[in-house]
Amino acid sequence: NGMEPKCGGTIINRFYILTAAHCIVNINLTLAGVRVGEHNLSTKKDCDFATNFCSPPVQDLLAENVVVHSDYKSKTFENDIALIKLATPINFSYENAQPICLPMSKTAKYDLNNNFAVVTGWGVTESGFASSELLKVSVPIIPYDQCQKIHKQYYTVTNKQICAGGFLGRDSCGGDSGGPLKYIVTEDGTSRYVQIGIVSYGPVDCGRQGYPGVYTNVIKYTKWILDNLRPPLA
């Protein structure tokens, strides 16, 4: 019906999706809604024929409201963060549509430098085309000072951003914007993914050796996220 996927995002509760501001503003498209629970865009059902298992159906939900960070700067990608409020709640009884954990104060104490995080999306691959299937890749988190030096010719990387990647052929790319950079955190014997970044920008030639991608640092925006959620919450 003239609609196509533009960006990624993550579920943070039944009514809210976390994404990048540049997915919402300064584009010649209108946000029609959000699809959750998707895996393969080219099939109506996501099935593993080896096990004869099919995941629950996707949920297509209309957007009721969008909150873009008031200090978002499109030229420098500062404060590249936004929330989409859905008109109807996500059905969490479907196992393919679940919320991600947000980083709290304990997560901020972890030294993430040189550890590996995971980025997921349907973005452009080495083929030059977007993937129809949800892909993931592990990327190393690059120390802030090192990242500043790498990108200083074109952008000023701030302490509200995270750099990750820099390995040949392992990177987020066009179409992955707004999606998550996530890190496994273990608390009280339980391991879970925590979203530490939002795909923001990187080199045009994705997966370039020595040039990491830049992500909005979610740890720096947890308060902003919580302050901008409106009831009903879940």
Give the integer Cα–Cα distance in Å for 214 and 58.
30
Of residues 208 and 65, more confidently modeled: 65
173: pLDDT strictly greater than 90: no
Helix locations, 18-132, DSSP H: 105-108
pLDDT digits (tens, 9 = 90+) for 21-46: 999 987 777 888 999 999 988 888 89
Which domains occur in the chain, in start order?
Answer: 10-99+223-228 (2.40.10.10), 105-219 (2.40.10.10)
CA–CA dist 72, 35 (Å, integer): 25
Catalytic residue among 22, 131, 151, 171: 22
| Annotated catalytic residue, options 131, 172, 177, 200 | 177
Q: Which of the pair, 209 or 17, is modelled with greater confidence?
A: 17
Residue 168 predicted with pLDDT over 60? yes
Give residue 108's pLDDT band: very low, low, confident or very high (50, 70, 90).
low
Question: Which range (124-128, 150-154, 166-170, 229-233) has the least confidence?
Answer: 229-233
Helix (H) or strand (E) holding 129: none
How many angstroms separate the CA atoms of 174 and 122, rounded? 9
Residue 216 pLDDT > 60: yes
Residue 8 has pLDDT above 90, yes or no: yes
| Closest to 179 measured CA to CA, from 9, 6, 21 | 9
pLDDT number for residue 232? 47
pLDDT in tens, 136-149: 999 999 999 999 99
For the question of residue 80 being annotated catalytic, the response is yes
**Band of residue 105 on the pLDDT scale cut at 50, 70, 90:** low
Whole-structure pTM value:
0.91
Dist CA 229 CA 113 (whole Å):
30
Of 80, 171, 176, 200, the catalytic one is 80
What is the structure's pLDDT at 2?
Answer: 65
CA neighbor of 5 nearest in space, from 132, 110, 173, 103: 132
Q: Does residue 106 register a pLDDT over 70?
A: no
